[in-house]
Amino acid sequence: MAKVEIYDTTLRDGAQSEGISFSVVDKLHIAKKLDELGIHYIEGGWPGANPKDAEFYNRLHELKLKHAKIVAFGSTRRANVKAEEDNFLSVLVKSGAKIATIVGKGSDLHVINVLKTTLEENLKMIADSIRYLKKKGLSVFWDVEHYFDGFKHNPEYSLKTLEVAAKAGVDCLVLCDTNGGALPDEVTKAVKAAARVTKVPLGIHCHNDGGLAVANTLAAVVAGATHVQGTINGLGERCGNADLCTIIPALKLKMGVDCISDAQLASLAEVSHYVSELANIAPDPFAPYVGASAFSHKAGYHMDGVKKWPDAYQHIDPARVGNQQRTVVSDQSGKGNIIAKAKELGIDISGSDKEVKELIGQVKRLESLGFQYDNAEASFELLLQKAKPDYKPPFELVDFMVVVESRRRLSTRKSAEAMLSEAMVKVKVDGKIIHEAAEGDGPVNALDLALRKALLKFYPSLKKVKLVDYKVRILEESTGTESQVRVLIESSDGVNGWRTVGGSTNIIEASWLALADGLEWWLLKHNK
């Protein structure tokens, strides 16, 4: 199969995701990371669209890229305007980039209904724009917008746009499934038709509105495309773009396309998480290849199979994409899961079968009460530690009480209208009973503050630990307010994060158990 070049548009198309706004510094950092990954082309944005994108191109000199080439994005000239007088094109020339990607219409319906011009004028817009940029010394990629929809409605016209662009000297024709609704067989047919009318390299740019962006991209490569566009983590407008974190390993490991090196591929999970961090979104744990759950094993017989033969329930070696196998412990776990997970955590429980069976029984009993250890490994590690006969906890929970009042007493922490939440806790440390109280913004926060107040006297380093996320799930909706609830808490010390779980029919008790586990786990790790 021919060599395939990877074109990343995270900084432009990906930034159009709802809720995402990259700063200029973010964009520069991501560009460097994409270069390290081995991406061939990085689209930085539309230089004339906004001050932020303009500044990015003004700071291109700060990027010391070893591999990638920066591309400026723009549009064909406007209808009935000369190319040399069109601002859309002039900003591309002034951007400092050596390559320009311009978008233009490849669908007759869009020319008529959106551009409100003639089909002939659209062909002139395409040709004039390409010739102008080529005369200015730029390489030109043309994004053939709505090509697949146009091909279905009027294939003759869509193919004619490709021929006109090829004659004008375009360097790559990027066929776009802009609405994201094409099917793989339609993509195959339309790409092959394009290959029959031009020898110019073909590219593919797919959106994910039908959930098929990756499949359509791979189908296009099989049909002859040698230029692949997408975004890290599939970021993009509406349902996103084709996800390069899935496409790249599929090309390299499944289709034998050596698009990046083995060493670069091994950094894929890191790059995925890096972009999520700068986008201020949580990484998708279920993302193929790079997600935390992509190679996790929960069912006992799955774990047993993987131990005997890693390929039994894994389609690739996770290390090849920078990921790792995880053992998940739950009420579906068997002896193999418990022992494997303990080994992952550096805990030896290779004692009698009776001890392991007791642990399995305890996990299943606790999960029936609302606990779940899939995503609360800190609580599970504590469960293993507490099973040891010589385990000495850093503190013991004695009792707690929470008061919530709205009329008799008001909170001193808020305005006069605020509801009072006060917690009192008793804990034992080194044989001493500590009794503390605290007000908080709600009962859980009050509990958290009171517990810390008691423990900080003995463990001042706990000041580093913060509660960063708190989730409650009702497990038995049919019983209403009497339902079993599960509380999942995420804590952080500013460097590492960990999750703990509590379960009860009482939401305060479930929260208390998860809070206490979070602090006990950290003390176990850092107070030796």
pLDDT digit string (tens) for 21-58? 999 999 999 999 999 999 999 999 999 788 999 999 99
pLDDT at 337 over 80: no
- In angstroms, the CA 411 to CA 448 distance is 16
Q: pLDDT confidence of 382, banded at 50, 70, 90?
A: confident
Which stretches of 147-249 are DSSP H helices? 147-153, 155-168, 184-197, 213-223, 244-249
Q: pLDDT confidence of 481, banded at 50, 70, 90?
A: low
CATH code of the domain occupying 395-458:
3.30.160
The most confident of the ranges 202-211, 266-275, 330-339, 476-485 is 202-211
From residue 461, alpha-carbon distances to 17, 34, 435, 495 in Å are 40, 38, 20, 14
Domain definitions of the chain by residue range: 5-260, 296-369, 395-458
> Considering only CA atoms, which of 205, 206, 161 is closest in space to residue 181?
206
- In angstroms, the CA 302 to CA 290 distance is 20
Mean per-residue pLDDT over the chain, rounded: 88
For residues 200-229, average pLDDT: 98
Q: Which pTM does this prediction carry?
A: 0.70
Write the CB contacts of 426 (distance below 8 Å, at least 6 apart in sequence). 397, 398, 399, 400, 433, 434, 435, 454
CATH topology of domain 5-260: TIM Barrel (3.20.20)
Same CATH fold assignment for domains 5-260 and 395-458: no
pLDDT at 331 over 50: no
pLDDT at 380: 82
Write the CB contacts of 494 (distance below 8 Å, at least 6 apart in sequence). 464, 466
For residues 159-184, average pLDDT: 98
Percentage of the chain surpassing pLDDT 90? 62
Q: pLDDT confidence of 82, banded at 50, 70, 90?
A: very high
- Phi, then psi, of 392 in degrees rounded to 5: -120, 110
Q: Are 174 and 184 in contact (CB under 8 A)?
A: no
- In angstroms, the CA 366 to CA 371 distance is 5
- Phi, then psi, of 460 in degrees rounded to 5: -60, -20
- In the 3-class helix/strand/coil scheme, how is 55-94 assigned residue by residue? HHHHCHHHCCCCCCEEEEEEECCCCCCCHHHCHHHHHHHH
pLDDT at 478: 45
The beta strand positions in 239-393, using DSSP E, are 296-297, 326-327
pLDDT at 1: 61
The beta strand positions in 314-439, using DSSP E, are 326-327, 396-410, 419-429, 432-439
pLDDT at 6: 98
- In angstroms, the CA 217 to CA 215 distance is 5
Flag the least confident range among 67-81, 339-353, 481-495, 510-524. Answer: 339-353
Flag the least confident range among 323-327, 344-348, 391-395, 423-427. Answer: 344-348
From residue 67, alpha-carbon distances to 32, 38, 272 in Å are 10, 6, 19
Q: pLDDT confidence of 345, banded at 50, 70, 90?
A: low
Flag the least confident range among 71-85, 158-172, 414-428, 506-520. Answer: 414-428
> Considering only CA atoms, which of 224, 214, 219 is closest in space to residue 247?
214
Q: pLDDT confidence of 323, banded at 50, 70, 90?
A: confident
Q: Are 149 and 157 in contact (CB under 8 A)?
A: no
pLDDT at 301: 47
Which residue shows structure tokens 């002896």?
335
> Considering only CA atoms, which of 215, 209, 217, 200 is closest in space to residue 178?
209
Instruction: Please compute Rg for the chain using Cα positions.
Output: 29
Which stretches of 369-486 are DSSP H helices? 377-386, 443-455
For residues 239-245, average pLDDT: 98
- Phi, then psi, of 437 in degrees rounded to 5: -135, 155
Q: pLDDT confidence of 159, banded at 50, 70, 90?
A: very high
For CA atoms 194, 195, 197, 200, give the dihedral sign: positive
- In angstroms, the CA 176 to CA 346 distance is 50
pLDDT at 302: 52
pLDDT tens per residue, range 399-429: 999 998 876 666 666 554 567 889 999 999 9
- Two tokens, residue 406: 């709205």
